[in-house]
Amino acid sequence: MAGTEAQELAIECCLLAGRLMMEAGAETYRVEDTMERMAQAHNLRMTHSFVTPTGIIFSPGTPHHTQLIRIKKRSTDLEKIARINDVSRKLVTGDYSLEQAYMQLQTIDRVKVVFPFWLQLLAAAWASGCFLLLFEGHWRDLPAAILAGGVGYIIVVLVNEVTKVQFFAEFVASLGVATSAFLMVYFGQGNELDKIIIGGVMPLVPGLLITNAVRDLMAGHFVSGLSKGAEAFLTAFAIGAGVALILSFR
């Protein structure tokens, strides 16, 4: 293939990989690193990429135009990160040709490999139960915590699907957690309201955001670090406000 055409495809490839990784919740430095490696494997020497949680600016060097790609949705999908990592590794070592890699990335974009929803729900409810016991709650409160965690997770997924506003979804979900915990205690199915709520809220906690935000800050990616930190803070605030609202009626 002619040199420039191949390079155009390589640039497309870099941008697609970068966007997918950012949407799946990868660390900023990993996205930049992956894009630059993929570009260097195809003789694009002077590349610069500037990755933020809401958009990627990628400059592939003199004959090519600088490109900007917008990132509209953000979620956590570790499987996707692992598969893109695999594709880029194979592209750099030469196991995949450029076309193959591009096809693979498009497939990853189209086909979603996720656990079925009922299993995720079960995992969330189950994790809530575990957390209740980890935080020295009593076995008697286990059903209440499992119920609260499950209710919270259903609400956050459904509301997020309908409204697309993460902040609102988290708020409503933590309202649901606190309400169901409160009702369980009210009807004598639980004792320690505090522990049940803490357990039930755990699946909503923005763990990935917090860790990524700090790592980005320490690695010198201040823009992404601060914006991820802001997102984590908003989420935590939404959860706290939801719980607080119910507690204030007690």
| Residues forming the site for another protein (CB under 8 A) | 26-27, 30, 76-82, 85, 89, 113-115, 119-120, 123-124, 126-127, 130-131, 133-135, 153, 194, 197-198, 201-203, 205, 207-208, 210-212, 214-215, 218, 236, 240, 243-244, 247-248
Structure token pair of residue 165: 């506003």
Rank residues 59 and 120 by Cβ distance to another protein and give the closer one: 120
- Minimum distance between the CB of residue 51 and another protein, rounded to whole angstroms? 15
Name the residue nearer to another protein (CB basis): 76 or 191. Answer: 76
If the CB atoms of residues 172 and 198 are measured against another protein, the closer one turns out to be 198
CB of 192 to another protein, least distance (A): 12
Take residue 18 and report the two structure tokens written for it.
């970068």
* CA separation for the pair 1, 90 (Å, rounded): 20
Q: Contact 156/169 with Cβ under 8 angstroms?
A: yes
Whose Cβ is closer to another protein: residue 52's or residue 128's?
Answer: 128
- 62 vs 248, which CB is nearer to another protein? 248
Question: Is the distance from CB of 18 to CB of 58 less than 8 angstroms?
Answer: yes
> Closer to another protein at the Cβ: 135 or 167?
135
* Residue 143 token pair: 């059903």
CB of 104 to another protein, least distance (A): 16
Closest approach, Cβ 81 to another protein, in A, equals 6
Tokens of 57: 């600016």
Laid out side by side, the sheet with 48-52 consists of 48-52, 55-59, 67-70
Closest CB to another protein among residues 5, 136: 136
Q: How far is the CB of 223 from another protein (least distance, A)?
A: 18
**Nearest distance from residue 4's CB to another protein, in Å?**
32
* Least distance to another protein, CB of residue 201, Å: 6
Nearest residue to 34 (alpha-carbon basis) of 19, 53, 52: 19
Radius of gyration of the chain (CA): 22
In terms of C-beta density within 10 A (0-12 exposed, 13-18 middle, 19 or more buried), how is residue 222 classed?
exposed
Contacts of 133 (CB under 8 A, 6+ apart): 139, 142
Structure tokens belonging to residue 114? 């996720």
